[in-house]
Amino acid sequence: MRYMLLIYDEETKVAKMSKPERGAIHQEYGEFIDDIRKKGAFLAGDPLQPTSTATTVRGKNGKTITTDGPFAETKEQLGGYFIVEAKNLDEAIAIAARIPSVRVGGSIEVRPIMEIDFSK
């Protein structure tokens, strides 16, 4: 059985962390990943860029509506995810717009993945 573990943080709190505090968390993440990797549990995981870099893609009358900001409604629930490789945001939006849920009123939040090397 595969499980998805969703990490919710208070962005402003994280941004205010001191360098040593941040370093400690960083190291802890590294150790945690090493450990679950050794136990064969790790499949994939990445930190995301902050919500200020997010874009929400919706469909309306067959047209794609793109807006600034994260997905903020509470009516819908997280139902799945894709990680895709795209040259730029336009390509990522174009792929997001093709996800079938968009056609039936779903929303897709497009968030860049942070490139971090935890082995360092």
Please report, as ranges, the residues that interact with another protein according to CB under 8 A: 49, 52-55, 66-69, 87-90, 93, 110, 112
Using an 8 Å Cβ cutoff, are 66 and 75 in contact?
Answer: no
DSSP structure class, residue 120: -
Minimum CB separation of residue 52 from another protein in Å reads 6
Minimum CB separation of residue 3 from another protein in Å reads 28
Q: Report how far residue 95's alpha carbon sits from residue 89's, in angstroms, rounded to the nearest whole number.
A: 10
Q: Which is nearer to another protein, 38 or 120 (CB)?
A: 120
Cβ partners under 8 Å of residue 44, min gap 6: 83
Q: Which is nearer to another protein, 69 or 105 (CB)?
A: 69
Q: Which is nearer to another protein, 1 or 83 (CB)?
A: 83
Minimum CB separation of residue 8 from another protein in Å reads 20
H-helix segments, 56-112: 89-97
